[in-house]
Structure 1
Amino acid sequence: MKLGIGSDHNGFEFKEGIKKFVEETTEHEVIDYGCHSCSAVDYPDVAFEVSKDIHDGELDRAILICGTGIGVSIAANKYPGIRAALAHDTYSAERAQLSNNAQIITMGAQIIGVEVGKKVVGAYLNSEWSEGSKRKVDKINEKEKEFKKEDVPEPVSGNQCG
């Protein structure tokens, strides 16, 4: 399996630990999308690059990391056809794949430690989608096809009262 891994600067050290774990315990080909140091990197940039390569068939699955895992999850899910799931425990990681065929799991380096992260990644990589929730995943895919970028309104921000 071709497995992408990427993080922002908040997840750099966590990513390095997870990458080493995957390389030492599996036969998956790991492709590192950065960041490659503790220098500031915006998580959407990494998430979009990984999502594009999943979408284009360059990767089979991926792991994205930021401070909480939330930002990379939101960013990755903006890319058409991507299902990225936040997973901070082994059950969620298994269900991300088994129930939702998530191509990406996301984790927060400031939420869990590397040792827990290794268990989460192991559970995700050892799970295979068996189309158990195919009907639900198909509904998500069909809804996504209804929308085009120009159909999505700009989000409302700030206080609307003053």
Structure 2
Amino acid sequence: MELRDRVNQALKQAMRDKDTSRLATLRLINAAIKDQEIAGRSADGATTVGDPEIMAILAKMTKQRNESVRAYEEGGRLDLAERERAEIEVIEEFLPRQLDENEVTAAIDKAITDVGANSIRDMGKIMGKLKERHSGQMDFGAVGPQVKARLA
């Protein structure tokens, strides 16, 4: 089942269950997907957003909410931080399982071996290979410095 269909099924179920907080988050996800479709339209017609794009949208939404949680906790607004955490849980239901530290290290080593990298100039190839294989499963902002350290 496509990711978009899973989101729509969850939305319908949340409506049936009258789960307002979950419903609000699922509507935000749908709105973000539709915004991406509108932004991608060209003069010749509508463009659909596929699973990779939806995963990128969900990853971005999760990152935004994690930053909000940090800001709310620093500001002493624990009630708002808790609401953001609840939204993160709903969003993460549709993302693939995140790799742990050992799996990330193994993935980096495999990508370096597969690309045949031996200098920092090959970092782009390695990151491309990791994104191809593990899109949505790791934080590439954190992985970049690890790859750089390995190549140095």
Please report the TM-score for the alignment, with normalisation by the length of structure 2.
Answer: 0.29
**Larger helix percent:** 2
* TM-score normalised by structure 1 residue count: 0.28
Structure of larger gyration radius: 2
Q: Which has the higher strand share?
A: 1
